[in-house]
């Protein structure tokens, strides 16, 4: 299995266009601290890739990686489709940027698909430009990620019923947010990708315990961070993101796992966006890594 980390920032990116917080200002002053919106490319065969979450940066994220460049035909792209973990704007706005594609296949759970069709009207908007097809992301069991290529299998483990703000009144469903489980029968390797975690259900714990690589939501360092930094009146948990540190935080969940564990989806207020922050040493002592843009992972 081969994974390319295309971005590691939460909504807004780092820097965020209208933000002068220390994290964003630091990234303007030191370009190596910049992080694009969290996304992952998964290889399913020679010259075939699926992108997990279509961010507002997707065009630049593709340009950053030679593996994802088009060719040899004039409009031949190695990107075979997009898989969505949720319907949040920072994970879906990039679909509109892919409208030049001859065809666009989007794999998502039923509530996510419905939000994109009924609320964002993406079906109506994109159909005049490209051949848009939807595929169901199985919440139970697993199916081939790429039916035409190798045997990599995917499933979505329901994580929470947290809806995006634009669909706040949409029906309840436990599959609004899923953790993506990738299984490679050839090597036996399993990877788990969960950039948005409002809860840590037993099914996720079980999948994490069996995985070789676990990449999860590192939006906020601690629960008070959004209030302390003045970006929200809610806590991290209240905003739908389990914090890294503290009781009930994700670090204490990850530390005992035998898997390689990494954080992604860092908010610009997270102290981890500063490479010199002492929090990096805290995580290193627990054996947990912080993913970076351009990282290559081979679970
Ligand atoms: Zn900022």
For 182-215, write each residue's pLDDT tens digit. 999 999 999 999 999 999 999 999 999 999 999 9
Tokens (6 digits) for 60: 């630049």
Residue matched to tokens 């399913």? 44
The pLDDT-based confidence of 148 (bands split at 50, 70, 90) is confident
Please report the pLDDT score of residue 147 as a whole number: 84
Q: How far is the CA of 84 from the centre of ligand 1 (A)?
A: 25
The lowest-confidence range among 18-32, 134-148, 269-283 is: 134-148
Tokens (6 digits) for 126: 């994109």
Residues less than 5 Å from ion ligand 1, measured at CB? 16, 19, 21, 23-24, 268
- CB of 166 closer than 8 Å to CB of 129: no
Q: How far is the CA of 171 from the centre of ligand 1 (A)?
A: 32
pLDDT at 140 over 80: no
For the segment 23-31, the average pLDDT, to the nearest whole number, is: 97
Q: How far is the CA of 235 from the centre of ligand 1 (A)?
A: 17
Q: How far is the CA of 270 from the centre of ligand 1 (A)?
A: 9
Q: How far is the CA of 114 from the centre of ligand 1 (A)?
A: 31
Please report the pLDDT score of residue 149 as a whole number: 75
In Å, how far are 11, 40, 161, 185, 270 from 175, measured between CA atoms? 20, 20, 6, 25, 27
């Amino acid at each position: 299995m081969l994974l390319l980390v295309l971005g590691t920032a939460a909504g807004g990116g780092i820097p965020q266009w209208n933000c002068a917080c220390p994290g964003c200002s630091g990234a303007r002053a030191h370009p190596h601290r910049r992080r694009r919106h969290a996304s992952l490319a998964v290889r399913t065969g020679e010259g075939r890739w699926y992108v997990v979450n279509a961010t507002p940066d997707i065009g630049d994220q593709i340009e950053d990686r030679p593996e994802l460049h088009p060719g040899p035909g004039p409009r031949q792209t190695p990107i075979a489709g997009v898989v969505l973990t949720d319907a949040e704007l920072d994970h879906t706005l990039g679909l509109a940027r892919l409208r030049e594609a001859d065809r666009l296949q989007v794999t998502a759970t039923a509530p996510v698909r419905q939000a994109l069709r009924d609320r964002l009207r993406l079906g109506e908007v994109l159909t005049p430009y490209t051949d848009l097809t939807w595929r169901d992301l199985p919440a139970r069991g697993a199916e081939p990620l790429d039916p035409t290529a190798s045997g990599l299998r995917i499933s979505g483990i329901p994580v929470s019923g947290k809806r995006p703000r634009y669909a706040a009144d949409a029906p309840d469903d436990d599959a609004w947010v899923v953790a993506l489980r990738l299984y490679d029968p050839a090597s036996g390797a399993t990877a788990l990708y969960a950039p948005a975690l409002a809860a840590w259900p037993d099914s996720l714990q079980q999948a994490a315990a069996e995985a070789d690589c676990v990449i999860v939501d590192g939006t906020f360092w601690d629960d008070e961070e959004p209030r302390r930094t003045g970006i929200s009146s809610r806590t991290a948990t209240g905003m739908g993101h389990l914090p890294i540190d503290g009781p009930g935080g994700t670090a204490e969940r990850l530390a005992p796992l035998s898997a390689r564990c990494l954080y992604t989806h860092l908010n610009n207020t997270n102290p981890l966006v500063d490479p010199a922050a002492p929090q990096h040493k805290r995580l290193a002592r627990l054996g947990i890594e912080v993913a970076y843009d351009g990282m290559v992972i081979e679970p």
